Amino acid sequence: MAQFKYKAYDASGAVVNGVLEANTAAQARELLLKEKLSPVQLTEKVATEGSKINFGSNNIVTLEDIEFVTAEMSLLLNSGVKIDKALSVLARTKSGSALAELLQKLSNDVRKGQSLSEAMAKHPKVFDNLYINLVTIGESSGNLVAVFAGLAQDLKYRKELKGKITQAIAYPTVIMLVCICSVLFIFNFVVPKLTVMFADTAELPIYTEILLGVSEWIQSYQFHFFIVVIAIAFGFRWMMQQGHFAHKFDDIVLQLPILKNTVNLIERIRFASSMSLMLHSDVKLDQALMLSAGSVKNRVIARNLSGVKDKVRKGESITMALKQSGLFPELFMSLLEVGEESGKMAPVFDEIASRSRTEFSNWTDKMTSLIEPLMILFMGGIVGAVVVVMMMSIVSVNDIGI
């Protein structure tokens, strides 16, 4: 089946651009007419990799895109729009992007008789198991609108969590880069100009010799150093794709005091949010545990949570099983115990997720306000030390000359 790029006018006379799949140009024209679009230009698109979606570095489907699609699907379906039509409408609003291409493929698959969850399952890099399973449940129960509304809210929280994590590491990273660039500038351009002053000096102070030696080393080997750093980064990325090393790395992270609490907090938010969403959608408890454990990124915690599902299936209470995972503090364990006794677990996981988000937000604010002056002092200390050594070297040469 070929892809056709089209330009058409809708019923209001507005120009619409997009891509659709059809066997022939005539069939593509018929599909556009069924959508009440008047085609004025229709050209076959040359496929680059078969039927795969091209997710290039500048053309990818992001978390924000999926949140947008999910929220809009909830609104369109609630308004009585059919699934394939809703997907086509959204594809036209994002014309020319990877998201539009994805939506058009989903729309075509639905028109061929596939369910929406089956069409989404063809794109596991975009839609995870939790998303697909909830859509499947929504289709079978006829409550797809509520499922999309819940998913949109969950994706919004995920985006906010991602933003908070980025905020926590962005500022110190920028300060560190500025510090490195300042030091490189000094040793590459400022210090070399001072070497002329020391050319006729028989004996230099030790700090001056160190300064000149560091400057010479940086000028000679800085590119080699950057290549080694890049190689280490790529090597680390490759090793993280290997199961044993990645599991070991996650285990080491959980042994570090500050990182342990932070990682536990982040994974608690992910797990509790997923559990709340699944239970509100009437998913069975053991299945909800399995799918929610899959949303956790740390492999050690995910393995512990996977064991919770097996314990619950064997008759153990969910409170005792989750207590052994070590993810929840005592306060939350008390809430879970009350929820289990009352048979209302979904509101409890809602409360845990909400409190954990507030706790993480407060933590990032505190860390940012603390790291900011520390990083400024660190950068000022390094650059200032280099400048002081330079001034002392200049003064020492003048003293020797006198």
The CATH number linked to 189 is 1.20.81.30
> What is the structure's pLDDT at 402?
47
Residues 43 and 167 in one domain: no
Q: Establish if 131 belongs to a structural domain.
A: no
DSSP state letter for 123: -
Q: Which residue range is the domain that position 4 belongs to?
A: 1-47
The three-class DSSP label of residue 41 is strand
Phi-psi region of 142 (alpha: psi -120 to 50; beta: other; left: phi over 0): left
User: Same domain for 218 and 351?
Assistant: yes
Same domain, 214 and 346: yes
Q: Is 76 a member of any domain?
A: no
User: Looking at the structure, do residues 326 and 183 belong to the same domain, yes or no?
Assistant: yes
* 167 and 42 in a common domain: no
Count of structural domains, the chain:
2
Exposure string of 320-329, with b = 16+ CB inside 10 Å and e = fewer, is ebbbebebbe
Say if CB 319 and CB 340 are below 8 A apart. Answer: yes
Per-residue pLDDT, 397: 66
Has residue 210 been placed in a domain? Answer: yes
- Residue 71, domain member (yes or no): no
Flag whether 70 is in a domain: no
Q: Which of 235, 227, 194 is nearest to 391 (CA)?
A: 194
Contact predicate 291/278, CB 8 Å:
yes
Residues 338 and 213 in one domain: yes
CA distance 60 to 97: 8
List, run by run, the mean pLDDT of 10-residue segments along the chain (402 residues): 73 70 78 78 59 46 87 88 86 79 87 88 85 84 84 84 79 81 84 74 77 86 89 88 81 84 88 86 82 84 83 84 83 87 87 89 82 80 81 71 50
Residue 53: what pLDDT? 41
Q: What pLDDT is recorded for position 401?
A: 52
Provide φ and ψ at 56, rounded to 5°.
-75, 175
- Examine residue 269 and state whether it is found in any structural domain, yes or no: yes
> Of 178, 238, 187, which is closest to residue 212 (Cα–Cα)?
187
pLDDT, position 57: 38
- Whether 93 is covered by a domain: the verdict is no
- 382 and 236 part of one domain: yes
Six-digit token pair at 168?
Answer: 């926590």
Co-location of 206 and 347 in the same domain: yes
